[in-house]
Amino acid sequence: MAESSSKQKKLDENTSIMNIDRISSLPDSVLCHILSFLTAKTCVATSLLSRRWRHVWENIQVLEFREDFHDCYEDDDDFEQFKQFSVLVNGVLTLRRSRDIRKFVLSCRHTHEDMFYANSVATWVRVAIGPRLEELELSLFSSDGEAFVMPYNLFTCTNLVSLSLCGGIHVKLHSSTKINLPSLKILQLDIDSVDCIDTLLSGCSTLESLDICFAPKCLSTIRMPHSLKSLKIGVENNDIGTHFEIVSPGLEYLSINQITAFGPITVCNFPEVTQVFLDVFSLEESVNALLNLLLAISATNTLELRRSTTKEPSPLQIWVEPTSAPQCIVSVLDVFYIRGFQGYGDEVEFVAYLLRKGLVLTRIHVICSDVFTDERTKYRILKRLSFVPRASTKCKLIFE
């Protein structure tokens, strides 16, 4: 039987090479690789493909649950939908054979108004947290504004490599909370609230990528891990003036965003950083912070400054030409972008400064803000900048 079918296959090979089931003969481990990139719902559905597939999904160690709820408005429908979603999650968690979860992704709604939501989510997260967990991605959409409090034992998952928390989640820490995340390489936090971020970071000794957006709550120094290679940071309302210390000599990528006030900042030299994005236009009285940053990024060839608010003053307004120009501007900077350009004198002067100093510049892109529509002023600025003597003859000025 087997022989004749293999002969048949050979005969078919020339005529209909496409009609071979190449997959089902592969080992379970390979099939599980495919399943590990699917949501749990699709994984369960593969049990219906054939007998070969019937129980394969039960061995998955990567569980991804995403509630699809964007086009539901009625409260009753909403609840009905969440109920169905929870039957799916509970079904998968109960029927799986492998007790280990390596990766867990959960994206759903959450509310404290109905304990069914709160208890379900809390139980699922507890199931996921364990010594084998390598990746956790949690996005919760809370309708009542009350956040889900992350269980403490997450912060002692020694095998956790990647952690992403987003939405209605509260990371409640005390300065004495034990944090031990020795394997953590990637941390992404965009959540309602986080206390003692410095305590959290101090327990991540090998962190390489940090993407964080938060509002500092206490006056302290936040030290970025020494091991960082990529840092994307957004700070909201740093009215209390939290001090940031970015002393990570291996840093390769730096992005500072959405800052309404960025306090004092300590940086080291970043010899590896080639790309920098700075949204620093709402810095107040912090021209030194900008200059310090420009001095630190000595190897940066692509720099982007963005003005996300129309609020003044900008740090460029009190920009005083330093006695010696930062090295990155003089001899490394290749491309410079200035976004949200509104035609203020300080912006123009800064661009002119770069034109005069940048020996290896090839492009400057000036991208105007939507609110800047005065064509005559634009023309005048362009004319003014075109008269500035350029240090680099190759430098093009692109005005958009």
Partner 1 sequence: MAAEKSSIKIITLIAADGSVFEVEPNIVKEMKTVQSYIDELDQNTVSIPLPNVFGNDLAMIIEYCKKHASEEETKEAKEEFDFEFVKRMKSDDKLRLLQAASYLNMESFLQFMAKAIAAEIENQSVEFVRDYFQIESDFTPEEEAELRKENEWAFK
Q: Exposure pattern of 296-309 as b/e (b: 16+ CB <10 Å)?
A: bbbbbbebbbbbbe
Rounded to a whole number of angstroms, the CA Rg of the chain reads: 27
Residue 7 binds partner 1 (CB under 8 A):
no
- Judged on CB neighbours under 10 Å (0-12, 13-18, 19+), 49 is middle
Give the one residue of 69, 78, 88, 363 binding partner 1; rule: CB under 8 A: 88
CB 125 within 8 A of CB 106: yes
Binding residues for partner 1, rule CB under 8 A, total: 36
Give the one residue of 6, 8, 84, 158 binding partner 1; rule: CB under 8 A: 84
Query: What is the footprint of partner 1 within residues 13-52 (CB under 8 A)?
Result: 17-24, 26-27, 30, 33-39, 41-42, 44-52
CB 296 within 8 A of CB 268: yes
Query: What is the footprint of partner 1 within residues 47-76 (CB under 8 A)?
Result: 47-54
CB 264 within 8 A of CB 244: yes
Q: Which is nearer to partner 1, 89 or 194 (CB)?
A: 89
In the complex, the smallest distance separating the C-beta of residue 296 from partner 1, rounded to whole angstroms, is 22
Residue 8 binds partner 1 (CB under 8 A):
no
Query: What is the footprint of partner 1 within residues 264-323 (CB under 8 A)?
Result: none
Q: Which is nearer to partner 1, 142 or 230 (CB)?
A: 230
Nearest by Cα to 304 from 278, 272, 342, 333: 278
Residue 372 binds partner 1 (CB under 8 A):
no
Give the one residue of 6, 7, 11, 87 binding partner 1; rule: CB under 8 A: 87
In the complex, the smallest distance separating the C-beta of residue 92 from partner 1, rounded to whole angstroms, is 8
Query: What is the footprint of partner 1 within residues 122-151 (CB under 8 A)?
Result: none
In the complex, the smallest distance separating the C-beta of residue 229 from partner 1, rounded to whole angstroms, is 11
Q: What is the 3-state secondary structure (H, E, C) of 27-47?
A: CHHHHHHHHCCCCHHHHHHHH
The Cα 400–Cα 397 span in angstroms is 10
Contact window for partner 1 (CB under 8 A) among 84-92, 135-143, 169-177, 216-224: 84-92
Q: What is the 3-state secondary structure (H, E, C) of 266-320?
A: EECCCCCCCEEEECCCCCCCCHHHHHHHHHHCCCCCEEEEECCCCCCCCHHHHCC
**Interacting residues with partner 1 (CB under 8 A):** 17-24, 26-27, 30, 33-39, 41-42, 44-54, 84, 87-88, 91-92
